[in-house]
Structure 1
Amino acid sequence: MQVEDIMRTNKADAFIKNITENRVRSQVKFPAEEDLSGAAAAILRLQDVYRLDTADLSNGVIMGDKVGRAAYNDRDYYHTLTWMQVALNRLENEDPKTVGEDEVLEYLAFSLYQQGNIRRALALTKRLAAIAPNHPRAKGNVKWYEDMLDGKDMEGDLPPIINKRVENDGIVERDAYEALCRGEAPKIPPEEERKLYCYLKMDKPFLRLGPIKVEILRFEPLAVLFKEVLSEYEAEVIKATATPKVGC
């Protein structure tokens, strides 16, 4: 009987009450906009490094419009375009809607414009003006895009979307480290590979008693692998000591 009572007890009410009381006393802080922006930036970085598909990512609990908005606020129109496009596609199948279509259309249209897709930006802005006649910027943006096109290329099928990622973000080695994170080590020319070798490091007196095994992996840039520096026991001690401090 006691087990049944415990199983039927609604623990959610007590949990919510606990959070609410601590919230009032400022002991519990809910995620703020800056937390979302930081999380979204991390998602976008992981997406770039591991070449994850936007549609695949959005099939989880991640809402495309929120990630897209964070990218927009960071003036990252490459990611704004991909995430808002996915958000728009999902919105068409949502009931009830989790975000306004007019909001997604405005973000998507502007990011299309920023990426050089003026005709597509115009088409979406006309759609925005149709569903939201009182939108404060839609009609003005329609005229703005039409003036930029000046009657050129306004007929016929829409051209393919251009969405180039800005490469000059201040990280010269970005392509290299992203490839390494994916496990894609750059190939070494055969003539350089023949020069690679292994040796025993004994340049210190104490190393003569226990030399370290070293393997040269490449020369430019220099990359070496130290082997059997730690025993399995020592490695386990380090992991056991570090685990509580990283919250695992």
Structure 2
Amino acid sequence: MNLRDIRTIIDKNWLFPSLEDLTGTGISLLRLQNTYQITTSQMANGEIDLKFRSQKLTSDECYHIGRVAYINNDFYYALMWMQEALDRFDEKNKRALISRIDILDHLSNEGNIENALALTQEMLAIDPNHVPAKANKVYYESLINGQTLSKDQKKDSLASSEKIGSSSKKNFRVRKQRQNNYLELSEVYKALCRQNRAKLSHKRQAKLFCRYRHNNHPYLILRPVKEEQLFDEPTILLFHDVVSDTDIEQIKVLATPQ
């Protein structure tokens, strides 16, 4: 059996998650983190809910989540997850799929030139022959030398990130703030997702209701939809039993890798 035959068998019978599945999972985790305001450390430690604890993530896993965010241009969470990957990185772990340089390379894209230079210098301390790092070092130094910032401005720039660790391993904390162009509407939407009836007064809870809705549709008149009001202002409704068990099973069949 040659390599082409093996590849054909794998393509036809491969049941493990694909790269697309892995990327989709990472995007879903980032969306949950963003919507419910879960810190990167909490997610990495499996502390998603007070009643539920999952397995802690490794440095490799944190890196790959950060990589998904990076590819999707969400540099805020990319830096958060890369920092988490760096904090969990173990030089003695021979089974690691990534290197310290891989993480530092992504962290150096934060946007702060001084930090980028320090991280690049750390990369060169690990691998003096790292070609991209050598080129970046020259580039960052030229930018710094060409700056005309005042003394106070330079202090503000340096204070934007917190330096930790020893001088032999410069490790910088990335800035934990959103850029100014972050949409306020998105924040409103996520706040609605976090709402629950426990925040309502008894008087407001008493006004919530359940009903059957049909909107005068012939099919729905025979089988109206079960509607439950979860929140009054703004109105949040939950519809029960919209998809039948048969439809659910059909969707599961269609979603199964062929």
TM above 0.5, yes or no, is yes
User: Which residue of the other structure, out of 113, 122, 128, is the alignment partner of 1:118?
Assistant: 113
* Partners of 1:24 and 1:197 in 2: CA distance: 56
Question: 1:48 — aligned with what?
Answer: 34
Are the counterparts in 1 of residues 196 and 231 from structure 2 also a CA contact under 8 Å? no
Q: What is the one-letter code of the residue matched to 1:179? A: A
Question: 2:193 — aligned with what?
Answer: 181
Are the counterparts in 2 of residues 88 and 104 from structure 1 also a CA contact under 8 Å? yes
TM-score, normalization: structure 1?
Answer: 0.62
Question: 2:129 — aligned with what?
Answer: 134
**1:146 deviation in Å?**
2.2
Q: 1:28 to 1:180 in 2, by over 3 A?
A: farther
**1:44 deviation in Å?**
0.8
Q: What is the one-letter code of the residue matched to 2:249? A: P
Q: 1:24 to 1:122 in 2, by over 3 A?
A: same
**1:122 deviation in Å?**
1.5
Instruction: Please provide the CA RMSD for this pair.
Output: 4.5
Question: 1:102 — aligned with what?
Answer: 101
Are the counterparts in 2 of residues 22 and 28 from structure 1 also a CA contact under 8 Å? no
**1:162 deviation in Å?**
2.5
Are the counterparts in 1 of residues 160 and 175 from structure 2 also a CA contact under 8 Å? no
Are the counterparts in 2 of residues 47 and 53 from structure 1 also a CA contact under 8 Å? yes
Q: Residue by residue, what CA displacement relative to the aligned partner does 1:186-243 show, whole Å, maximum 9, x if unpaired?
A: x99xxxx7xx798999997xx9xxxx9997964x7556789xxx8xxxx5x9664455
Q: How does 1:3-152 map to 2 (within 5 A)?
A: 24=9, 26-29=11-14, 30-58=16-44, 59-60=56-57, 63-92=61-90, 95-96=93-94, 97-110=96-109, 112-113=110-111, 117-150=112-145
**1:79 deviation in Å?**
1.1
Question: 2:170 — aligned with what?
Answer: none
**1:173 deviation in Å?**
3.5
Secondary structure, in 3 states, of the residue corresponding to 2:178?
coil
Q: 1:201 to 1:240 in 2, by over 3 A?
A: closer
Rg bigger for which structure? 1
Q: What is the one-letter code of the residue matched to 2:72? A: D
Q: How does 1:218-233 map to 2 (within 5 A)?
A: 218=232
Q: What is the one-letter code of the residue matched to 1:46? A: L
* Partners of 2:227 and 2:10 in 1: CA distance: 57
Q: What is the one-letter code of the residue matched to 2:28? A: A
Q: What is the one-letter code of the residue matched to 1:85? A: Q
Q: 1:176 to 1:138 in 2, by over 3 A?
A: same
Q: 1:123 to 1:46 in 2, by over 3 A?
A: same
Q: How many correspondences in the alignment?
A: 209
Are the counterparts in 1 of residues 114 and 158 from structure 2 also a CA contact under 8 Å? no
**1:141 deviation in Å?**
1.2
* Partners of 1:37 and 1:159 in 2: CA distance: 29
Are the counterparts in 2 of residues 91 and 98 from structure 1 also a CA contact under 8 Å? no
Structure 1 gap segments, 5+ residues each: 1-19
Q: What is the one-letter code of the residue matched to 2:124? A: A
Are the counterparts in 2 of residues 215 and 224 from structure 1 also a CA contact under 8 Å? yes
Structure 2 gap segments, 5+ residues each: 45-55, 163-173, 254-258
Q: 1:247 to 1:89 in 2, by over 3 A?
A: same
Are the counterparts in 1 of residues 208 and 229 from structure 2 also a CA contact under 8 Å? yes
**1:24 deviation in Å?**
1.2
Q: 1:168 to 1:198 in 2, by over 3 A?
A: same
Percent identity between matched residues is 29
